[in-house]
Amino acid sequence: MTYSVTPLADTQIGLLETSQWEKQRKLYKEAKNSFKNNKLRRYQKIKQQLKHYPLYSYLEYYELNKQIIQLPYQRIDQFLQQNPHSYLADRLLTRLLTHLASIHHWKTYKRYYQPHLKKAKLQCLYIRSLMRTGETFPVEHAKSLWLSGKSQPDECDPVFAVLSQKKYLTPDLMWQRHKLAMNHRNYRLARYLRYKMKGKIQRLANLHAQIHQNPEQVKIIKSFNPSPQKVADIVYHGLYRYARHNPEETIRLLTHFKKIYPFKQEQLNHLNNRVAIQLVKDNKLLLASHIISTINIADRGKSATHLLRALLKNQQWDQINRWVNQLPTELAQSDRWQYWEARSLEALESVQSFKHKESFKHKDKNSRQIYTQLSKKRSFYGFLAADKQQQSYFFEDKPANVNIDMITRVKNIPSIQRARELFLLGSLHLARKEWAHTVKTFNEQELIAAGQLSYLWGWHRKSIEVMATARYWDDLTIRFPIVHENIIRKNAKQRNISSSLIFAIARQESAWEFDAQSRVGAKGLMQLMPATARETAKKSGLAYSKRKLFDPSYNIALGSRYISDLLKHYNNNRPLAITAYNAGPHRVKRWLANIQTQLPTDIWIEIIPFNETRKYVQNVLSYEVIYNYRRGQQKQLLTLAETGTPLYKSTLIP
């Protein structure tokens, strides 16, 4: 007989036995400290007590790593056999291979190298080991390493030198890499490649760089009869960049050059989309519409959505309806554009003087039908549609059913046990490495089991991630966990804001990873920038501490105060406050100033210029609805005040 298990049934199979290795955890930390401080007698004594502890292999690894220069290979072989396909095995192999290459032990390098180690450095060293041991030079492997727009490590230089000496580094390969470098904006590499080139191919590459620097010179480009495809690539590059400055002349030039050069269809599609998008930005919508109509429906998605947002800004409902029905099928059927098709039909149906309904491509459609169908979706647009129909939201909350045997099997995988122990010990970097190395090979059921396990451990970011990888969206308990509830409720009450809004922001910002840090420096659960946090702390009468931004209580206190201040600034208009939280109040001010007519809130959100910010606002508003549902509350996606007050320049608060 098989049973299914949900997160609430964890005690049935003993998933939360954090005390199982409590004594060993303490011993492990003591062993690490003893090893670090070179108290080896004490270390060995403690180590003997940890043979059955999941992190015993880490102690073995630390020893091998420290002694790798003088170790006999038998100990390494034993470790690799005992920890096959593991994160630690790959880490040790990388360390070993680097050492072997440094002392030119190429035969041994060749024996230990494994193809799944994808680092270019290790691959190039492997090719060098073949070269030094009399093996056949792997030409195709070397070429694949050459054809990269990135600068390859110095270890690859001898490999590329052999390619050149043996005449495998043809002018065409030089050209291909130069093009890749230009496309990756690796201009230093591109300059180096031009320096190494000779003759005609060098002249072509110099022309490529010249056109890149000054796209307008594409107008006077001269043909290189023996290399029409390469010149076509240069002309394409120049036109693509020139379109930003003069899209109309780009159209004329493209019409001319198409008669001369063999452009690929993909290049023509990219150029036409680029031109159309720039025309939309320049508010030349009629010409943009004409250009987009010449692009195959399957390839026009990017430019057509830009056009649609411009049409939404102008509330040109007849054109919106027309272009929604000319999107690629997948886009047209998405929740987003189904909603806007319904909105366009609703607007047109309400205009009594409208006399051309028979011209619609889909005369059998009406707004109510689309809203009704869409309201059954758990999404931003589904919630909007439900509000249009005055219907309850559809949540489709279905906890994942996984066989208990599957959960037990995943729980007992050694690398999963190591990840859990590292997480509980606070070694989060290593825990993430172990986890990622393991789950990348999991099937759907294994991923869901891993999601349930990590949820029960309180490692919510990983449970959210693996459920997304498994594409199981309906377990709202796991995907939207109630975390730090007391702290959030306290701060929400203090700031007179919704607890669910704080939950939603933290879920979107960090997926509950307390030590999250973005590329630009935002920190903690609510991803506060240090400057914003410092100013908010001062307003709150709290001492500022950059380090404490990773403390959930401190971070939530400052994040709650900041969103509260933004809500006050925007008269409790959450869409504006949430937009400002993500993109900054200065951008909200600029975007509102650019509106020439009053706009409904749903349109204003849709035309937010940054894709990331638009998605952010829609997610936070939707997540607040879901957290309200999870906490037994019912509130609308947008309040009456938010939908009833059109956004315009006057919305700006001094």
Question: Does 93 reside within a domain?
Answer: yes
**Percentage with pLDDT > 90 across the chain:** 88
Residue 103, domain CATH: 1.25.20.10
Question: Does 252 reside within a domain?
Answer: no
| Residue 563 near residue 581 (C-beta atoms within 8 A) | yes
Of 111, 132, 163, the last residue of a domain is 163
**pLDDT tier at 350, thresholds 50, 70, 90:** confident
**pLDDT tier at 225, thresholds 50, 70, 90:** low
Is residue 227's pLDDT more than 90? Answer: no
Is residue 270's pLDDT more than 80? Answer: yes
Question: Does 208 reside within a domain?
Answer: no
* Alpha-carbon separation of residue 371 from 344, 384, 387 (angstroms): 12, 9, 9
Structure confidence by residue, pLDDT tens digits, 547-566 = 999 999 999 999 999 999 99
Phi, psi torsion values for 460, nearest 5 degrees: -70, -35
Of 163, 189, 221, the last residue of a domain is 163
The total of other beta-carbon atoms located within 10 Å of residue 436's CB is 13
Question: Does 143 reside within a domain?
Answer: yes
Is residue 244's pLDDT more than 90? Answer: yes
Structure confidence by residue, pLDDT tens digits, 62-84 = 999 999 988 788 999 999 999 99
**pLDDT tier at 363, thresholds 50, 70, 90:** low
Range of the domain at 147: 22-163
Closest CA to 139 of 109, 160, 115: 160
**pLDDT tier at 276, thresholds 50, 70, 90:** very high
Of 104, 135, 163, the last residue of a domain is 163
Is residue 15's pLDDT more than 60? Answer: no
Q: What is residue 222's predicted lDDT score, i.e. its pLDDT?
A: 75
Measured CA angle at 443 (ends 442, 445), to 5 deg: 110
Structure confidence by residue, pLDDT tens digits, 159-205 = 999 999 999 999 999 999 999 999 999 999 999 999 999 999 999 99
**pLDDT tier at 11, thresholds 50, 70, 90:** very low
Q: What is residue 3's predicted lDDT score, i.e. its pLDDT?
A: 32
Give how many domains the chain has, as a whole number.
2
**Is residue 601 left, alpha or beta, with left meaning phi > 0 and alpha meaning psi from -120 to 50?**
alpha
Task: Give the pLDDT mean for 23-31.
Answer: 96
**pLDDT tier at 437, thresholds 50, 70, 90:** very high
Phi, psi torsion values for 5, nearest 5 degrees: -135, 140
All residues at 6 or more sequence positions from 115 whose CB lies less than 8 Å from its CB, including other chains: none
**pLDDT tier at 12, thresholds 50, 70, 90:** very low
Distance between terminal CA atoms of the chain?
68
Question: Does 364 reside within a domain?
Answer: no
Task: Give the pLDDT mean for 136-155.
Answer: 97
**pLDDT tier at 425, thresholds 50, 70, 90:** very high
Structure confidence by residue, pLDDT tens digits, 282-316 = 999 999 999 999 999 999 999 999 999 999 999 99
Token pair, residue 348, equals 């047109």
Residue 547, domain CATH: 1.10.530.10
Question: Does 75 reside within a domain?
Answer: yes
Which residue's entry shows tokens 């040109």? 316
Q: What is residue 651's predicted lDDT score, i.e. its pLDDT?
A: 56
All residues at 6 or more sequence positions from 476 whose CB lies less than 8 Å from its CB, including other chains: 395, 397, 626, 629, 630
Question: Does 467 reside within a domain?
Answer: no
Question: Does 636 reside within a domain?
Answer: yes
Q: What is residue 5's predicted lDDT score, i.e. its pLDDT?
A: 43
Mean pLDDT value across the chain: 93
Is residue 614's pLDDT more than 90? Answer: yes
Q: What is residue 72's predicted lDDT score, i.e. its pLDDT?
A: 82
